[in-house]
Amino acid sequence: MGSKRLDNKTAVIIGAGQSPGEGVGNGRATALLFAREGAKVLCVDRDLASAQETAAKVHGEGGEAAAFAADVLSEAALAAAINECKSRWGRIDILHNNVGISVAGGDAEVTEITGDAFDLIMRVNLRGTVMACKHVIPIMREQGNGSIINISSLAAIENYPWVAYKASKSAMVSFTEQIAIQNARYGVRANAILPGLIDTPMAVDTRARAWGKSRAEVAAARDAKVPLRNKMGTAWDVAYAALYLASEEAAFVTGVALRVDGGGGINIGA
């Protein structure tokens, strides 16, 4: 059997659990895929039971994983998660920041947004990522290598209706570029992924509950907006993009904002 793409690597996935609903979320899919490719995975989520479920699925496939409870609103909890991976496996090769909220956090148009909702979404989506990077970068610098993958969103560049999510995900792209150039000499890479319309529990089921619509209605409306086959992507599409960026195949790739969007980002003037 040939070597796997992440053999002998360790990964911390922040947001490895998922919201209630059908199918698989981006974090869980990435944890499973990384483990299938040989990585040891620390599944971090504020919902420990959900993180444990992800880890159990990894174990069920013969992979190695552990679950850890951490809320991204707490810098101390994020630092503890990073330290857990380092203590358990001796190194951290990959940090995958997958946490994000929008409608669930009270996001709205700029004329309707409340200060509390804006602050919460920015703290979860942006500050959490910054703080996780703060604590992993010194470890990666000392190792002389590492890959940071931040999940932004196509909302960063498209005409998106709600203000806080767009602001946070746009800022994440700039932050990723900043840490990429500032850590390049240490051999540490940083890249962002911009998912478009993806069929996940957070994206579809959360909206269906918030809007009082069926899941099928929300999914159909989202499918119709996707240029490529009029069908949303899946969490596996995002996970495979992350796998590439985490692997040695992307050893010369840093500071990139990779769209995984079925053509959504180039659907201009339609």
Active site residues: 165
Q: How far apart are CA 124 and CA 111, in angstroms?
A: 21
Which residue, chain included where needed, has tokens 């659907």? 267
Q: Which residues contact 221 (CB under 8 A, 6 or more apart)?
A: none
Burial class (CB in 10 A: 0-12, 13-18, 19+), 122: middle
CA distance 199 to 26: 9
Q: What secondary structure, in 3-state letters, does 69-111 show?
A: ECCCCCHHHHHHHHHHHHHHHCCCCEEEECCCCCHHHCCCCCC
Give residues with Cβ within 8 angstroms of 248, minimum separation 6.
Answer: 5
- Report d(CA 102, CA 203) in Å as an integer: 9
Tell me the C-alpha to C-alpha distance, in Å, between residue 165 and each of 29, 87, 105, 184. Answer: 22, 34, 9, 28
